Amino acid sequence: MKKRERFGSRFAVIAAMAGSAVGLGNIWRFPYVLGQYGGAAFILVYIAASLLVALPIFFAESVIGRRSGRDTYGAMQLLAPGTAWKWAGLLTILSPLLILSYYSVVGGWSVEFLFKSLSFTFTENASEAEVSGYFGHFISSTWQPLLSHTLFMTMVAGVVLGGVKNGIERFSKVAMPLLFVLILFIVGYSLTLPGSRAGVEYLVKPDFTRLNADAYAAALGQAFFSLSLGVGTVLTYASYVKKEENLVVSGVGTAVSDLLFAMIAAFAVMPAVFAAGIEPGSGPGLVFQTLPYIFNKMSQAMPITSALVSIAFFLTILAAALTSAISMLEVGVAYLVDEKGMERRKATLLLAFGTWLLGVLCSLSFGPLAGVKLLGLSFFDFLDALCSNWLLPLGGVLFTLFVGWRMSKADVRDELTNGGTCNVRLFGLVYFLMRYLAPIGIVVVFLSNLFL
């Protein structure tokens, strides 16, 4: 068998893992979910959920991935041969592909908005009404969003074709530092907008009366989505991590980058939302509707800065979406390469085409297929709800139960402490969180989703 590829350095591991974590979840989803559940108080719950429940699951997936050095299905076959655990492996090959199908549609929106920024559509001569209505008009048309979805998926496949080192690692090492620089530049702009103070206050002054049971579920769901948990991406990337690498350090590095980026993104978006006088709880279109409106409005006072920030903003969304999307595709590719002996090229093209096709339905569900409903939801919303509310938590609970209850404690310790050479004192706490708190946390949220 061909030798498996490995990430080259610690920076490469964190860049790739943080690349998977930092994505549309941070810039597009976090601000609007935060807006729906009332701002600062939600952030506190979100941070707690990320560190106490999500991070231990991240460790659990890392342990399985590196211990086995295989794809999700192969890992289960190797660590628990002949058991029903293989179904957990198969489930988590399917779920990232389902996410990718609709994620690529939103990735496509960022491609379109980047083009529009590059041609100064939002910042020159457009009327306010044209700009604010553009998003709705665009997503409900037939061909344009399909073309953007196709472009996005082609870029994703292009990176995955390059392989772990020359594709994923190389791309993430450039994209991640760039993302942080760009988003800081955007925050600077946002904070100078007239009326932005209210947005900052919204993010720092907690109002606990707005927290309800739903908010806890939403915070955990967001933490899961944002850290790319429960769908085998962390597992697969960890299988490319060298034995000497410290899994606790790369996990904490990834979680901190992800949290930090979400916070910075919120400070980039919310002041603009308040400056534009838009309701923060207005849902998924928040970022795509608010920002062009602001760029347009500010273009009289600062034409060049507004045009540049507009380009920087949509480039940030696109780059962040790409590094996440490649991790989703890699899970299935790793499976076909490892288990079926398929060539990487063939595996990538096959899976990219299949998910693209499903994505076509998601894209059309905003326009011509808007009337087609599954359980009362459009195709896009149905897939999002299925994945975020069910498949991610289900995968997450299976992985932590596997590590906490099926694997031997000695093996888990060996993996997390590199044979007793690091994190020895921390291990007890991490193991406790993986074994008890994380699964209980998820089950409680699962049940509250069902019954509340």
Residues lying near ligand PHE in the complex (CB under 6 A) are found at 20-21, 23-26, 96, 99, 225-226, 228, 231, 233, 324, 327-328
CA distance 338 to 361: 30
| Pick 138 or 224: Cβ nearer ligand PHE | 224
- Smallest gap from Cβ 328 to ligand PHE, in A, equals 5
| Pick 280 or 395: Cβ nearer ligand PHE | 395
Torsion sign (Cα): 73, 75, 80, 85: negative
By three-state DSSP, how is residue 148 classified?
helix
| Pick 222 or 299: Cβ nearer ligand PHE | 222
- Smallest gap from Cβ 224 to ligand PHE, in A, equals 8
- Smallest gap from Cβ 327 to ligand PHE, in A, equals 5
| Pick 229 or 307: Cβ nearer ligand PHE | 229
CA distance 389 to 264: 25
Q: What does the radius of gyration of the chain's CA atoms come to, in whole angstroms?
A: 21
| Pick 231 or 430: Cβ nearer ligand PHE | 231
Torsion sign (Cα): 64, 69, 75, 77: negative
- Smallest gap from Cβ 285 to ligand PHE, in A, equals 17
- Smallest gap from Cβ 113 to ligand PHE, in A, equals 17
Q: Are 113 and 316 in contact (CB under 8 A)?
A: no
Q: Are 318 and 109 in contact (CB under 8 A)?
A: no
- Smallest gap from Cβ 63 to ligand PHE, in A, equals 18
- Smallest gap from Cβ 201 to ligand PHE, in A, equals 26
Q: Are 56 and 437 in contact (CB under 8 A)?
A: yes
- Smallest gap from Cβ 226 to ligand PHE, in A, equals 4
State the DSSP string of 16-59.
Answer: HHHHHHSSHIIIIIHHHHHHHTTTHHHHHHHHHHIIIIIHHHHH
Q: Which of 251, 252, 217 is nearest to 237 (CA)?
A: 251
| Pick 179 or 360: Cβ nearer ligand PHE | 179
Distant-in-sequence, close-in-space partners of 438: CB < 8 Å, separation ≥ 6:
52, 53, 56, 57, 60, 396, 400, 404
| Pick 79 or 99: Cβ nearer ligand PHE | 99
CA distance 355 to 329: 9
| Pick 45 or 298: Cβ nearer ligand PHE | 45
